[in-house]
Amino acid sequence: MRDYPKILVPPPGPRARAIVERDAAWTSSCYIKEYPLVVARGEGVMVEDVDGNRFLDFMAGIAVASTGYGHPKVVAAVKDAADRFLHICGSDFYYEGMALLCERLARIAPGTSKKRVFLTNSGTEATEAAIKLVRYATRRTAIIAFRGAFHGRTTGAVTLTSSKARQHAGFGPLLPDVYHVQYGYRYRCPWCADEPACNRGCLRVLEDDLFARQLDPHDVAAIFVEPIQGEGGYIVPPPGWLRDLRALCDRYGILLVADEVQSGVGRTGKMWACDHEGVEPDILLTAKGLGSGMPIGAMIAKESVSTWESGSHGSTFGGNPVCCAAALATLDLVEGGLMANAAAMGERLKAGMCRLAEKHACIGDVRGAGLMVGVEFVKDRGTREPAPDIVHELVQRAFERGLLLLGAGKSALRLAPPLVVGAGDVDIALEMIDAGLGEIA
């Protein structure tokens, strides 16, 4: 019997309010705090708050809780590793979990080239490692990223991020020699008024504009790309766009870095979003869902690129043994069925959202792969004018009724439940979104 969603007391209840107040007094002022969800425990796709309210989670702690909350196999792996040793420092010493995980990631990365793996604690550190490695390996300095991109918040990574101005404001000067160009949109770019010149999106801006007027492509170390843009609004580029980008990089000896921190580890129904296009990047970045919530990320680089010498980079905690155990258990589960479930449930979710789009004129686009589904809200389907207020209102109302949602980009809803989500859960979420939109209208 499903015992969620179940709201006993309007959230935030009294216990939640007390914690929110303490948090507000003592935590750093930079945190966003989307809504006053105060978690006590979780199980599968259910999250329970400190007042006993039970929520259906369609955001997975921002696309992290890949195997759901408290998966027994992940918890057992974590407990077993914790019982043995919590730390030894993988940059300087050896343990089996680190070697096993690096081998596993190298083998499942897209393409056939031999890979080497650097383990991190987070997505942003994977980006930092890649920024350093691409410059080291090519002895070139320029880096290109895309408008709307999110690659992290540390100083190097945030330079590549082009998501919200406040993520840059007051922090400059950031990294020099970083350029942003338009991402591949299937329809009119939501960030500017331009129609893409062709249905391959906007790749021509690189050669016809940036390389022609401003930047010699032979000075470019790498292009960083999210194969499906995450924070930017769950935007799927047109078919062939990523392959064209790979070809462009090859023409000029530029390294292609695929940031799969959000899209990787089975979320899109394949292990990596790059696999949908058959593209082998030179470097692939992963984190988020890799450890089912334990902090671990990785930079998987072709051996031919991984030229840096011993001691040139490292991390005290990166590849922590308990996190490695969580990642190995997560990969077992993802390969053992969750990836297939993500593909099937993603189809169900997308089909359901398309049906809702026939009913609610404010839905301007439904897109995504697997359980990385984006829904764009518009004021008018003709002009495609974004409707951020609708997203905000929908997310808040859903929370009050027991469904955890999250926005992305200017005016998109991102649907990213744990990969263990079932058909009944998908149907309930669709009903709740339908009801929420009905109320807002």
Ligand X SMILES: Cc1ncc(COP(=O)(O)O)c(C=O)c1O
CB 54, min distance to ligand X, A: 26
Q: For residues 108 and 122, what is the distance between their CA atoms, to the nearest angstrom?
A: 20
The nearer residue to ligand X, 148 or 436, going by C-beta atoms, is: 148
Q: With contact defined as beta carbons under 8 Å apart, do 120 and 287 qualify? A: yes
The nearer residue to ligand X, 66 or 262, going by C-beta atoms, is: 262
CB 258, min distance to ligand X, A: 10
Q: For residues 189 and 41, what is the distance between their CA atoms, to the nearest angstrom?
A: 40
CB 203, min distance to ligand X, A: 20
CB 62, min distance to ligand X, A: 6
CB 112, min distance to ligand X, A: 25
Output the residue with the shortest Cβ distance to ligand X.
123
Q: With contact defined as beta carbons under 8 Å apart, do 115 and 188 qualify? A: no
CB 122, min distance to ligand X, A: 4
The nearer residue to ligand X, 314 or 337, going by C-beta atoms, is: 314
The nearer residue to ligand X, 53 or 262, going by C-beta atoms, is: 262
The nearer residue to ligand X, 123 or 217, going by C-beta atoms, is: 123
CB 356, min distance to ligand X, A: 26
Mutual orientation of helices 72-84 and 321-333 as an angle, nearest 10°?
A: 160
The dihedral through the CA atoms of 118, 78, 86, 103 has a sign that is negative
CB 231, min distance to ligand X, A: 5
Report the relative pairing of strands 142-146 and 385-386 from DSSP bridges.
unpaired
Q: Which of 47, 85, 82 is nearest to 64 (CA)?
A: 47
Residue with tokens 């309930």: 428
The nearer residue to ligand X, 108 or 145, going by C-beta atoms, is: 145
The nearer residue to ligand X, 235 or 363, going by C-beta atoms, is: 235
Contact positions vs ligand X (CB under 6 A): 122-124, 127, 150-152, 226, 230-231, 259, 261-262, 287
Mutual orientation of helices 423-440 and 388-401 as an angle, nearest 10°?
A: 120
The 3-state DSSP class for residue 344 equals helix
Q: Which of 298, 309, 306 is nearest to 116 (CA)?
A: 306
Q: With contact defined as beta carbons under 8 Å apart, do 251 and 171 qualify? A: no
Q: Which of 159, 382, 130, 440 is nearest to 259 (CA)?
A: 130
Mutual orientation of helices 321-333 and 96-108 as an angle, nearest 10°?
A: 40
The nearer residue to ligand X, 231 or 376, going by C-beta atoms, is: 231
CB 35, min distance to ligand X, A: 18
Q: Which residues contact 430 (CB under 8 A, 6 or more apart)?
A: 349, 352, 353, 355, 356
Q: For residues 376 and 412, what is the distance between their CA atoms, to the nearest angstrom?
A: 4
Measured CA angle at 64 (ends 59, 67), to 5 deg: 95
The nearer residue to ligand X, 297 or 352, going by C-beta atoms, is: 297
- Residue 406 backbone dihedrals phi, psi, to 5 degrees: -155, 145
The nearer residue to ligand X, 378 or 416, going by C-beta atoms, is: 416
Cis peptide before 12 (omega within 30 of 0): yes
CB 99, min distance to ligand X, A: 23
Is residue 441 within a helix (H) or strand (E), and if so which, with residue range? none
